A and B are shown apart, each in its own frame.
Chain A
């Protein structure tokens, strides 16, 4: 249990990349990229966890601030990471839509315009 979440993170990163490598559909490939990124969320949040600690929010219900909380920095980083993922996915999906229109296919094996 001491390293299990970290191993899950590594697995997600590699399996997402594997999905892109063997993909037959660009939409699927963009989804696999999100899976690879999910590995980074797991890694960040796992690094910040502390057994028995509360959440780093003292507002509601109001409580006295204490240092016995989980790491807020990795939570902020994961939030930034999620926003980046959403935006990059949006751009890549927009590109996939246009590829589908211009090439008539979204199968990477059939896109042969950029060779050599």
Chain B
């Protein structure tokens, strides 16, 4: 008789329902109750969900928590219901989502415009979508929660309707993500026709060992497309910079910190549970590595060329997504563990940097490092938080980003890819250096006056509208606490002794598709035994210090460019590919659709062509 634990098993449904119920209350009464009550109720809801999910995470470490909604449990291996499976990775991502929403709501306290409670309602609905997506074990249910995340996100992105860029960015975001979701749904239809059910464990059981024929290839590519569009893998990434540049700062926190990693989570979860025993690992690994490296390089180059601080951070997210995909794409436990640590550390650092960008916008009325040169010289605490964020982004030990980087580099070298450390150091140094350069210009007035130089066609950050009604005189505690908390959280990921083993453990569960299927279909869970892998190694620490030092050097060179004796022609030739890359990122939704289909073609070629032999 299958045993489905009734204690922790109720938590997933509650964690999805509570934010929705509170959002309903805010929709109905938000206009009538005073602002502090709205803020408190929303924050309390987010914290309640956080507590529930933390309990779920603790429970999932003894084996996955499985619940079939409405008790439609499998009989003879078949069920008609929807299953919610919380393994350590799923529960962990859900905890991250709840924590970031709580901190974002704290940051928005009192100052951000709330449109009679609708902002808070949309944030809670966004939270429900993210939690549902992370915890569900059914492919169509994933699509439903994916669209819930999308609907709330499009509205939150376009909130500042007086800003022309906000509504354009939101529209680009909406069209591209929706089109990706519809491609995914086509893949879901194909898989349904073959198997006759859409829950991940049943798909896994039905397809294990099958030969990858044309239908399964099409199903895999189509389903992955929607999730990889959300995950901003190149060439599906164009929407991300547009959306991040215009959304309010707390919303960007959620996008970069957890929504984009959720896209990658979805693609990898579906791969591991449904397709890992169908496709040979080598082909899929190559596909992820190729696209990951492309994403990391495009992100890094574009990041460095931005003058709009939030766009700079957005491209750095894209670069780091490339690194996550490269690490997780090794399809090994250590690579996945490295990716998990890196995602956790990056979430803290990037979220803090976005909130700091929000503070910059609210105090000085812009986020353009050229226009704001030297404006921040009299700020005392904030510049050092920026500096901390910048070098943490570059992977300084003992921040979580450094640990994730170290574990991933180690995993790559072990797997025979010696270029891993080079890629990781270069990309994190470039992105960290860009942040440090911007900080140096705005808050320390370093470098020559940038306004005297001509600039290309990059988006300027001086037309950005502030999130608050009056420019801030001093930074309120409700904004400072989340920033410091996030940086400390990123530090904790790298420092706490349990973090590394937890990541290894979680990765082991994530890769164990046989165990997932068996446990969801009724057999008792068992605790996985894993050999612990090395933690911080000397090499890892050294590479982390190297990339931090490189980031500082890159920033210094950017601020004080040395006079090189090169002719104008040489500089023009050298800069031509970079200018072409900037032109490709045109803000035109038609271009983005064209690149999306190029991406589908590339993914299909990478997966299908080697299988023809």
Contact = CB atoms under 8 A, between A and B. Distances in A.
Asked if chains A and B are in direct contact (CB within 8 A), the reply is: yes
A102 B162 contact: yes
Interface string B556-589: 0000000000000000000000000011011111
Contacts of A88: 147, 150-151, 154, 174, 178
B169 A108 contact: no
Given A88-B147, A95-B167, A47 B189 contact: yes
Contacts of B18: none
B175 A30 contact: yes
Main secondary structure of the interface of A (DSSP, over half): helix
B155 A91 contact: yes
Nearest to A113: B165
A33 B178 contact: yes
Contact of B590 (A40, A74, A108): A108
Which of the four size classes fits the interface of chain A? 35 or more
B245 A114 contact: yes
A95 B457 contact: no
A84 B150 CA distance: 10
A115 B585 contact: yes
A77 to B, nearest CB: 6
B305 A116 contact: yes
B484 interface: no
Interface stretch (A14-22, A51-59, A61-69): A14-22
Nearest to B174: A92
A20 B305 contact: no
Given A30-B175, A84-B147, A102-B162, A116 B167 contact: no
Nearest to B173: A95
A111 B175 contact: no
Contacts of A103: 164, 168
A92 B586 contact: no
Interface stretch (B35-43, B180-188, B247-255, B320-328): B180-188
A29 to B, nearest CB: 7
A116 B582 contact: yes
Given A36-B179, A88-B151, A113-B587, A102 B164 contact: yes
A2 interface: no
Nearest to A40: B185
Residue in A29, A39, A43, A84 with the greatest tally of chain B CB atoms within 10 Å? A84
A10 B215 CA distance: 13
B457 A13 contact: no
B144 interface: yes
Given A13-B182, A36-B182, A98-B158, A109 B588 contact: yes
B283 interface: no
A26 B174 CA distance: 12
Contacts of B241: 114
Interface string B569-613: 000000000000011011111100110110000000000000000
B30 to A, nearest CB: 19
Contact of A99 (B155, B164, B588): B164
A43 B151 CA distance: 24
A3 B252 CA distance: 44
Contact of B154 (A21, A33, A95): A95
Given A92-B174, A99-B171, A116-B459, A108 B589 contact: yes
Nearest to A37: B182
A21 B168 contact: no
Contacts of A22: 590
Interface in A71-116: 73-74, 77, 80-81, 84, 87-88, 91-92, 95-96, 98-99, 102-103, 108-109, 111-116
A116 B305 CA distance: 8
A52 B182 CA distance: 30
B172 A114 contact: yes
19 contacts: A13-B183, A20-B590, A29-B589, A37-B178, A39-B186, A44-B185, A81-B185, A91-B155, A91-B174, A92-B174, A99-B164, A108-B590, A111-B168, A113-B168, A115-B582, A116-B305, A116-B457, A116-B458, A116-B585
Interface of A: 9-10, 13, 17, 20-23, 26, 29-30, 33, 36-37, 39-40, 43-44, 47, 73-74, 77, 80-81, 84, 87-88, 91-92, 95-96, 98-99, 102-103, 108-109, 111-116
